[in-house]
């Protein structure tokens, strides 16, 4: 099965590297197209078996899946450069704000199209990836889920939830970084070296995420486990609540929708 990736920017390049490290697709079956030969050379240096080209049409020809990883305003003109097969190819768009209906208008009403929303952690194979589809059957949806599950965790959602879920995942990762930055600054004020504080907080965030993902539990349950009566943790949790921490997170998520 051949996969074409149109666009070798941050997201397209990360997806190419992620797929090349997976078990479903071999690197030799991935072709990447981009006008920048420098970006293509960088990718091929990392994974010599990848095929690269500056010709979108050539890349898409014969591909079973075509992943279009370009800026939203380039989606239509880029699609026009390729003779996409609306019947036999799966078309995947990474572009924010381009609906499934728009994609079918550009390609053909019968086209099988997907909107995929990864976050930047895809470069570490730990993305939370959202997938919505149109004209896809169960087997095709399962294929997309399998591919992106190798680069983190993928979830199939209705397109109507894209805005809300993007706020939690693609935007939300920035709010996690903001917490790490703030906690790191506190550590520095209390006498820790910046790099040490950053590692401590980042590992704590990773640990909290693993507890949630790997167990049938809830944040409230896990908070209770570390907030002993009269202890230091409950004092800190109460300070967060007094400062409007929960409200601030909710407002940030809703503002990002």
Classified as helix, coil or strand, 178 is: helix
Query: pLDDT above 70 covers what percent of the chain?
Result: 100
Burial of 11 (0-12, 13-18, 19+ CB in 10 A): buried
Q: pLDDT by residue (tens digit) across 20-55?
A: 999 999 999 999 999 999 999 999 999 999 999 999
Partnered with residue 133 across adjacent β-strands are 114
Burial of 201 (0-12, 13-18, 19+ CB in 10 A): buried
| 244: region left, alpha or beta (phi > 0 left; psi from -120 to 50 alpha) | left
Picking from 18, 28, 29, the residue whose alpha carbon sits closest to that of residue 65 is: 29
Cα dihedral 21/70/126/100 (nearest 10): -110
**Hey, what domains does the chain have and what are their CATH numbers?**
3-157 (3.40.50.720), 165-256 (1.10.3730.10)
Q: pLDDT by residue (tens digit) across 91-118?
A: 999 999 999 999 999 999 999 999 999 9
Q: In which band, very low, low, confident or very high, does the pLDDT at 86 lie, cut at 50, 70 and 90?
A: confident
Is the pLDDT confidence value at 237 over 90? yes
Q: pLDDT by residue (tens digit) across 154-190?
A: 999 999 999 999 999 999 999 999 999 999 999 999 9
Cβ contacts of 256 within 8 Å, gap of 6 or more: 166, 167, 171, 172
């Amino acid at each position: 099965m051949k996969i074409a990736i149109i666009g070798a920017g941050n997201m397209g390049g990360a997806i190419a590297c992620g797929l090349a490290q997976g078990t479903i697709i071999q690197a030799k079956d991935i072709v990447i197209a981009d006008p920048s030969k420098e970006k293509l050379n960088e990718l091929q240096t990392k994974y010599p078996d990848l095929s690269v080209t500056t010709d979108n049409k050539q890349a898409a020809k014969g591909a079973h899946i075509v992943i279009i990883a370009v800026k939203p305003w380039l989606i239509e003109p880029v699609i026009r450069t390729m003779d996409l097969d609306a019947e036999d190819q799966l078309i995947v768009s990474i572009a924010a704000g381009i609906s499934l209906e728009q994609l079918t208008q550009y390609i053909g009403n019968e086209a099988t199209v997907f909107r995929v929303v990864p976050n930047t952690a895809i470069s570490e194979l730990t993305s939370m990836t959202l997938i919505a589809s149109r004209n896809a059957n169960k087997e095709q949806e399962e294929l997309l889920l399998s591919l992106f599950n190798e680069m983190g965790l993928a979830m199939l959602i209705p397109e109507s939830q894209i805005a809300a879920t993007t706020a939690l995942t693609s935007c939300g990762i920035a709010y996690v970084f903001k917490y790490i930055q703030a906690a790191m600054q506190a550590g520095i004020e209390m006498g820790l070296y910046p790099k040490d504080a950053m590692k401590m907080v980042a590992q704590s965030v990773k640990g909290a995420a693993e507890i949630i993902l790997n167990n049938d539990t809830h944040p409230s349950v896990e908070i209770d486990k570390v907030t002993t009566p009269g202890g230091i943790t409950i004092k800190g949790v109460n300070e967060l609540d007094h400062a409007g921490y929960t409200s601030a997170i909710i407002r940030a998520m809703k503002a990002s929708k």
